[in-house]
C-alpha cells in the first residue's frame, strides 16, 4: 500500500499537463472508427512514458502495457475515445473545431485521466507489481467497439487481465466524488428498425392509397403498452421510438415509413418478451391497416454487472486515498447502457462513476463539457486501484 499523500502529490504535479491534454482532445472530436487524430494524440502522450504500445486491433484503438518490476496480477484500465454527432454549444475557448462533432459524453476526460494514470504508474514502476494494460477504445457510442476489441482477442493476449476497471464522468453527482455498486447497474440496450410499407398516392385521394403513416402512428402508440401492460411493473424497462421518417411533400401519401428506436431492460426474460410483443403489435397493426412490415432487431448491449469484490476494492481505495467524503454510497441503476459490459462478462471488475457536479450540464447535451476539477480524483483513484490490485491487495 502506498502513501496516499505521495500518490496525490504525483498526480497534482502532472495535472496542468493533463488539463491541457483534455482540452486539446476536446477540440478534435471524432466519431466511431474515425478517431485517427485522437489516437495519434493519445499515442504521442503515451510515448513519453515507459508504456509499450501494442499493434492496434481496430486501427483507431490504442493498447499499451506497463510492466512492473515485481511479480503480480494484470489489471485492464479502459477509456473510451469517440465523440458524438452533435454541435458543441459549450462556449468554452477549447470547444470543438469540427462542425457536428462534440465530446459531449466526457470521453476527452476519460482519455486524459488514463494518460495521467500511465504517467503516474510509470514513475512508480519500481513499486508496481504485475502489469497494467491501458485500453483506449473506439466506438463506445452505439457501435460496440468494446465487443469488437474482445472478438479480436484483446482479453486473450498475455498477460491476461485478472480484473478490469473504467471511470465514467457523471452529472447530477457532486464533483470529484466517486461511486460504484455491485450487481447490474446499467441496462441492456437493443436497437430496432421497422419498415412499414403501404401504397403511396395523392393526399386528396386517400382511399386509393394504403397509408403507412397512419399505421406507423398506431404502432408508436401500441408499442408504449408493452412496458405498461406486458411487463412486471417492478421490473424497469423502456421502449422508445426515437426516429420517424416518411414522406417529403404535403400532398403526397408516402409508400414507406421507417421507425427507429431502442429498448432497455435488466431482465433477460423481459428483454425477450419485449421483442416478441413488438412483433405481435407491429404485425397486427399493419395487417389491420393493409400494410406490410419488416422488423430488424439488434442485440446491442447486455446489462453491465459490477463484481462485488471489485466494488469493495474501489470503495476501500477511494476512502483511503481521497478521504471518506470522496465516496458516495448512492449509486442508483440507470437505463443507460455501456459497452464496458462486454469486458465485465469475461473479467471481474467495475465501472466507476466520477461526479462532475450536481448542476453540471447533462451528458449528451450540446452544452456539456468535462469538469476539469474532477480529473485529480479520477487519476488518483485509478492509479491506486491498479497499484493495490496488481499487488494482490484487492
Q: At what angle do helices 107-123 and 375-390 cross, to 10 degrees?
A: 50
Cα–Cα distance measured from residue 33 to residue 44, given in angstroms and rounded to the nearest whole number? 19
Nearest to 141 by CA among 96, 84, 180: 84
Asked if pLDDT for residue 18 goes beyond 70, the answer is yes
Report residue 324 as a C-alpha cell: 471518506
Given this model, what pLDDT does residue 1 score? 60
Residue with cell 411487463: 231
In DSSP terms, which residues pair with 190 in a beta bridge?
Answer: 263, 299
- Residue 7 is inside which H or E element, if any? helix 4-27
User: In Å, how far are 178, 355, 381 from 358, measured between CA atoms?
Assistant: 13, 8, 20
Tell me how many helices (H) and strands (E) the chain has: 9, 15
DSSP state, residue 247: -
Nearest to 33 by CA among 152, 190, 115, 142: 142
Q: pLDDT tens-digit profile of 142-201?
A: 778 999 999 999 999 999 999 999 999 999 999 999 999 999 999 999 999 999 999 999
Taken in order of first residue, the domains within the chain and their CATH numbers are: 4-184+305-390 (3.40.630.10), 188-301 (3.30.70.360)
Mean pLDDT of all residues in 11-19? 98
In DSSP terms, which residues pair with 260 in a beta bridge?
Answer: 193, 243
- Residue 379 is inside which H or E element, if any? helix 375-390
Considering the chain, what is the average pLDDT of its residues?
Answer: 96
Backbone dihedral region of 364: left (phi > 0), alpha (psi from -120 to 50 degrees) or beta?
left
Residue with cell 481505495: 317
The whole model's pTM is what? 0.93
Residue with cell 453491465: 304
Are the C-beta atoms of 191 and 295 separated by less than 8 Å? no
Split at pLDDT 50, 70, 90, the class of 394 is: low
Q: pLDDT tens-digit profile of 268-324?
A: 899 999 999 999 999 999 999 999 999 999 988 999 999 999 999 999 999 999 999
Given this model, what pLDDT does residue 127 score? 86
Are the C-beta atoms of 33 and 140 separated by less than 8 Å? no
Report residue 141 as a C-alpha cell: 457510442
Mean pLDDT of all residues in 35-43? 98
Report residue 65 as a C-alpha cell: 502495457
Given this model, what pLDDT does residue 110 score? 98
What DSSP line would sit under 49-115, residue for residue? SSPEEEPPSSSS-EEEEEE-SEEEEEEEEEEE---BSS------TT--SSTT-B--SSHHHHHHHHH
What DSSP line would sit under 305-355, residue for residue? EE-HHHHHHHHHHHHHHT-GGGB------BS---TTHHHHHHS-EEEEEEE
User: In Å, how far are 6, 7, 25, 375, 385 from 322, measured between CA atoms?
Assistant: 12, 10, 27, 13, 12
Question: Cα dihedral sign for 113, 119, 120, 125?
Answer: positive
Q: Which of 76-90, 311-325, 380-394 has the lowest mean pLDDT?
A: 380-394
Q: pLDDT tens-digit profile of 227-243?
A: 999 999 999 999 999 99
Amino acid at each position: 500500500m502506498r502513501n496516499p499523500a505521495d500518490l496525490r502529490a504525483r498526480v497534482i504535479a502532472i495535472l496542468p499537463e493533463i488539463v491541457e491534454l483534455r482540452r486539446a482532445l476536446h477540440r478534435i472530436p471524432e466519431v466511431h472508427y474515425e478517431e485517427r487524430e485522437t489516437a495519434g494524440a493519445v499515442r504521442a502522450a503515451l510515448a513519453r512514458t515507459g508504456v509499450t504500445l501494442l499493434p492496434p486491433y481496430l486501427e483507431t484503438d490504442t493498447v499499451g502495457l506497463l510492466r512492473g518490476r515485481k511479480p503480480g496480477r494484470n489489471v485492464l484500465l479502459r477509456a473510451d475515445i469517440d465523440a458524438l454527432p452533435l454541435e458543441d454549444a459549450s462556449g468554452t475557448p477549447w470547444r470543438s473545431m469540427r462542425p457536428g462533432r462534440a465530446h459531449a459524453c466526457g470521453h476527452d476526460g476519460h482519455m486524459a485521466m488514463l494518460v495521467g494514470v500511465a504517467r503516474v504508474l510509470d514513475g512508480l514502476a519500481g513499486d508496481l507489481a504485475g502489469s497494467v494494460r491501458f485500453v483506449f477504445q473506439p466506438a463506445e457510442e452505439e457501435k460496440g467497439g468494446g465487443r469488437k476489441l474482445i472478438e479480436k482477442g484483446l482479453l486473450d493476449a498475455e498477460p491476461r487481465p485478472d480484473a478490469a476497471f473504467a471511470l465514467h464522468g457523471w452529472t447530477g453527482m457532486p464533483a470529484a466524488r466517486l461511486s460504484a455498486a455491485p450487481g447490474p447497474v446499467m441496462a441492456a440496450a437493443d436497437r430496432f428498425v421497422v419498415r412499414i410499407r403501404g401504397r403511396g398516392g395523392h393526399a386528396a385521394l386517400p382511399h386509393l392509397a394504403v397509408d403507412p403513416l397512419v399505421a406507423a402512428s398506431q404502432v408508436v402508440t401500441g408499442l408504449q403498452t408493452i412496458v405498461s401492460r406486458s411487463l412486471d411493473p417492478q421490473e424497469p424497462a423502456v421502449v422508445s421510438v426515437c426516429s420517424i421518417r416518411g414522406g417529403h411533400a404535403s400532398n403526397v401519401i408516402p409508400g414507406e415509413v421507417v421507425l427507429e428506436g431502442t429498448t432497455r431492460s435488466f431482465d433477460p426474460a423481459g428483454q425477450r418478451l419485449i421483442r416478441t410483443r413488438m412483433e405481435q403489435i407491429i404485425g397486427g397493426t399493419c395487417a389491420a391497416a393493409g400494410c406490410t412490415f419488416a422488423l430488424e432487431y439488434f442485440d446491442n448491449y447486455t446489462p453491465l454487472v459490477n463484481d462485488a469484490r471489485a466494488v469493495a476494492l474501489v470503495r476501500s481505495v477511494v476512502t483511503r486515498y481521497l478521504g471518506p467524503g470522496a465516496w458516495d454510497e448512492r449509486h442508483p441503476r440507470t437505463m443507460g447502457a455501456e459497452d464496458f459490459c462486454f469486458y465485465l462478462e469475461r473479467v471481474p471488475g467495475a465501472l466507476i462513476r466520477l461526479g462532475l457536479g450536481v448542476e453540471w450540464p447533462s451528458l449528451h447535451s450540446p452544452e456539456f463539457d468535462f469538469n476539469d476539477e474532477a480529473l485529480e480524483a479520477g487519476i488518483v483513484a485509478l492509479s491506486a486501484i491498479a497499484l493495490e490490485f496488481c499487488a494482490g491487495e484487492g
